[in-house]
């Protein structure tokens, strides 16, 4: 299928026959959370990952973030094996992970500060991002004074501030109410489109919400029941820029049904106690 236009772009992330797991405490046995996982992600692609609970999505994202090691296979970012965390990647989690003692501005600027880049240019980037995510006027507020949606905007701005090559998002909107969630999806699309124009970013977005995956992504990767591997990569050929109206189109409904069917199938295998 054409549309995502990723064919001739450079490979950003190469995942080859990856196996990741945990050593069980009680018997020292290795438990594979992800196995035989292979795919490639191109520069600038927005990738959504869906799959049943416990299939290894967070495990995989943690390995890409460099927080855990892979057991076998290869995981390469820009042609180099991932060996630990780095400034080329930013993470946004479901739970708010803001520093409670820092204001909005200081939270957004955290990464730049840690990298010694909070100079005049850095400070301008921080205020531009605060504006981009719609938080003007909230600069001096502390996390406890923000709503859930606002906190996730701060998280998003903070993740974007250091201009990461790869943005890693693990169910960033899961804790939000349905309405705020829709607003945040639109915001992310808008911010994405605005920020990609200047830099060129690649994103990995985990979600349980299939319409959210289809709306946001260039490609949806469906993971199997545990241990996670790729079941199907679904190209989302919906034109960009997208707006919520696209969710009412026939094309959207077809893509959504297709992905949902695959996820339900895997969820049934999961429930069947395949392991």
- Residues 221 and 57: beta-carbon distance below 8 Å: no
Residue 58 or 265: which CB sits closer to Mg ion?
A: 58
Sheet holding 11-23: strands in order across? Answer: 30-42, 11-23, 72-77, 80-81
Answer yes or no whether residue 58 interacts with ligand ATP by CB under 6 A: yes
Among 3, 10, 22, 251, binds ligand ATP (CB under 6 A): 22
| CB-based contacts of 152, cutoff 8 Å, min separation 6 | 92, 96, 172, 173, 175, 176, 184
Query: What single-letter DSSP state applies at residue 228?
Result: B
Distance from C-alpha of 156 to C-alpha of 38, rounded to nearest angstrom: 28
Dist. CA 252–CA 254, nearest whole Å: 5
Closest CA to 213 of 179, 193, 242: 242
Interior CA angle at 183 toward 232 and 188, to 5°?
55
Q: Does 270 bind ligand ATP (CB under 6 A)?
A: no
> Mask: binding to Mg ion, 29-68, rule CB under 5 A, as x and -?
----------------------------xx----------
Pairing of strands 72-77, 30-42: unpaired
Q: Which is nearer to Mg ion, 6 or 172 (CB)?
A: 172
172 belongs to the binding site for ligand ATP (CB under 6 A)? no
Nearer to Mg ion, 226 or 256 (CB): 226
Span of 57-65, 119-127, 231-239, 260-268 interacting with ligand ATP by CB under 6 A: 57-65
Segment contacting ligand ATP (CB under 6 A): 55-63, 151-159, 213-221, 261-269?
Answer: 55-63
Q: Does 226 bind ligand ATP (CB under 6 A)?
A: yes
Give how far Cα 29 sits from Cα of 19, 21, 24, 53, Å: 15, 10, 5, 22
Residue 202 interacting partner from ligand ATP, Mg ion, none (CB closer than 5 to 8 Å by kind): none
Is position 231 an interface residue for ligand ATP (rule: CB under 6 A)?
no
Q: Of 53 and 147, which CB lies nearer to ligand ATP in the complex structure?
A: 53
Q: Which does 53 bind (CB under 5 to 8 A by kind): Mg ion, ligand ATP, none?
A: ligand ATP
53 counts as binding ligand ATP under rule CB under 6 A:
yes
When CB distances are held under 5 to 8 angstroms depending on the partner's kind, the choice from Mg ion, ligand ATP, none that residue 54 binds is ligand ATP
54 or 148, CB closer to ligand ATP?
54
When asked if residue 180 is in the footprint of Mg ion (CB under 5 A), the reply is no
Residue with tokens 């949806």: 220
One of 9, 39, 43, 54 touching ligand ATP (CB under 6 A): 54
| CA dist., res. 264 & res. 256, Å (int) | 12
- Using CA atoms, how far residue 249 sits from 70, 78, 260, in Å, is 40, 36, 16
Closest approach of Cβ 153 to ligand ATP, in Å? 22
Contact footprint for ligand ATP (CB under 6 A) = 22, 33, 53-59, 226
């Amino acid at each position: 299928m054409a549309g995502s236009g990723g064919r001739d772009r450079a490979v950003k992330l190469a995942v080859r026959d990856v196996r990741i797991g945990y050593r069980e405490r009680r018997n020292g046995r290795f438990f594979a959370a992800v196995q035989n996982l292979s795919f490639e992600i191109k520069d600038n692609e927005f990738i959504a990952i869906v799959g049943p609970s416990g299939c290894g999505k967070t495990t995989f994202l943690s390995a890409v973030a460099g927080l855990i090691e892979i057991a076998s296979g290869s995981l390469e970012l820009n042609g180099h094996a991932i060996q630990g965390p780095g400034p080329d990647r930013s993470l946004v989690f479901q739970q708010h992970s803001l520093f409670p003692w820092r204001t909005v501005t200081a939270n957004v600027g955290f990464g730049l500060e840690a990298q010694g880049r909070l100079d005049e240019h850095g400070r301008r980037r921080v205020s531009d991002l605060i504006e981009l995510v719609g938080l003007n006027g909230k600069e001096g507020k502390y996390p406890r004074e923000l709503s859930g949606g606002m906190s996730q905007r701060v998280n998003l701005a903070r993740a974007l501030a250091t201009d990461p090559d790869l943005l890693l998002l693990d169910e960033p909107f899961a804790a939000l109410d349905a309405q705020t969630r829709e607003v945040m999806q639109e915001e992310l699309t808008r911010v994405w489109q605005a920020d990609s124009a200047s830099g060129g970013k690649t994103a990995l977005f985990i979600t349980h919400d299939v319409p959210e995956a289809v709306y946001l992504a260039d490609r949806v990767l469906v993971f199997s029941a545990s241990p996670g591997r790729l079941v199907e990569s679904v190209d989302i050929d919906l034109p960009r820029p997208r707006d919520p109206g696209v969710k009412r189109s026939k094309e959207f409904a077809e893509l959504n049904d297709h992905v949902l069917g695959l996820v339900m199938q895997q969820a049934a295998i999961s429930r069947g106690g395949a392991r």
